[in-house]
Amino acid sequence: MTQSLAEPDAKKRIAARGKVLSRDHLLSAVWGIGEDCTIRTRTVDQHIAGIRQKLGSEGARILTVPRLGYRVDLS
């Protein structure tokens, strides 16, 4: 199983104790793209999809929170 360079950091950010993390926050924290940037990207969504796939059935624990971001189901 190979990981992209951003994946380990993205996993840590997503697993932030079940808190919802916005796409903008993840873009800033993982890739250094400022929240004031006017570029819209699917980078976060593509990485989340890849992480979910690599985690198999456990990947379903990464939840999409519509219009807010992502969080991990810790239950």
Torsion of CA 41, 56, 63, 10, to 10 degrees: -50
Task: Return the axis-axis angle of helices 7-14 and 23-31, rounded to nearest 10°.
Answer: 140
Domain assignment of residue 68, yes or no = yes
Q: In this structure, are residues 11 and 54 in contact, taking their beta carbons and an 8 Å threshold?
A: no
Model confidence over 14-28: pLDDT tens digits? Answer: 556 678 888 888 888
pTM: 0.66
- Identity of the amino acid at 28: S
Residue 16 main-chain phi, psi, to 5 deg:
-70, 65
Q: Which residues of the chain have pLDDT under 70?
A: 1-17, 35-41
Domain assignment of residue 33, yes or no = yes
Domain assignment of residue 2, yes or no = no
Domain assignment of residue 12, yes or no = yes
Host domain of residue 53 = 7-72
DSSP conformation class of 67: T
pLDDT at res. 13: 56
Domain assignment of residue 47, yes or no = yes
Domain assignment of residue 1, yes or no = no
